[in-house]
Amino acid sequence: MIQPTSKRPFGHPVPAAAIEYFCHPRGGHLLSLPAWGRDAALYVANGWVALRFFGFPASFGTGPMEIVDRLRKQAWHSPAHEDKAAGRKLDDATLDIFKEGLIEPWHPERMAYRADPCVRINFGALVPAASLHMISRLPRCEIYTALDREQPVPFRFNGGEGLLARLTPTAEAAMTSAIAHIFPKTQH
């Protein structure tokens, strides 16, 4: 059963039934199943959001090792993560990210991700609001606002960590405006 889009948070630990909420919804797609890594983490992605959950048994990872190999190449840990002031609670921005209401992340007919509307984070990254809606359900989710312009936006939550894809410069140039600007006070 695919979890519906909602503002209701997942508990801690994140229930196993909620893991597929972060997978690609099209069956047979490389990212449609979570994968178990050799580092004892469960890797989940959908093309815009990538997560690694800690504390799940290997039996939950039925996806191919190719997913883990691809995702392990990402910058899961960087010096920015060490700066406690750079981590901001996503709960503090929920009024801003939900001001347009709930946004379903997938176009039902095409199974394409909704990249519009977007939210700007700390004078930098422009990310789909649907991505923020997804991760806002994770327990105690924090986004790192000391952002590297070239890297995905890192975040952490109770039980794991993740990365948000940002819009490409070409796609960003096509956007007329963001629906919200969150955490603007930590300009670096």
Q: What is the pLDDT of residue 74?
A: 85
Give pairs for 63-67: CB < 8 Å, separation 24+: 63/30, 63/31, 63/32, 63/33, 63/34, 63/35, 64/30, 64/33, 64/35, 65/35, 66/30, 66/35, 67/30, 67/31, 67/33, 67/34, 67/35, 67/43
What count of Cα atoms within 13 Å lies in the side-chain half-sphere of residue 3? 20
Q: Measuring CA to CA, how many Å separate 53 from each of 78, 99, 108, 139?
A: 18, 29, 27, 12
Query: What ranges make up the beta strands (E) of 10-168?
Result: 35-36, 41-45, 49-54, 87-89, 118-121, 126-128, 142-144, 153-157, 160-164
Structure tokens at 53: 């959950």
Q: What is the pLDDT of residue 50?
A: 95
pTM above 0.95, yes or no: no
Structure tokens at 157: 């939550």
Q: How far is CA 135 from the centre of its chain?
A: 5
Q: What is the pLDDT of residue 170?
A: 76
- Which residue bears the tokens 């991505």? 131
Structure tokens at 108: 């039902």
Q: How far, in Å, CA of 144 to CA of 81, rounded?
A: 7
Closest CA to 163 of 151, 171, 174: 151
Tens-binned pLDDT, residue by residue, of the chain (188 aa): 455 667 788 888 888 888 988 999 888 999 999 999 888 899 999 999 999 999 888 888 888 899 999 888 887 765 545 666 678 899 999 888 888 888 888 887 777 888 888 898 888 888 999 999 999 999 999 998 877 767 889 999 999 999 999 888 777 777 767 888 888 875 44
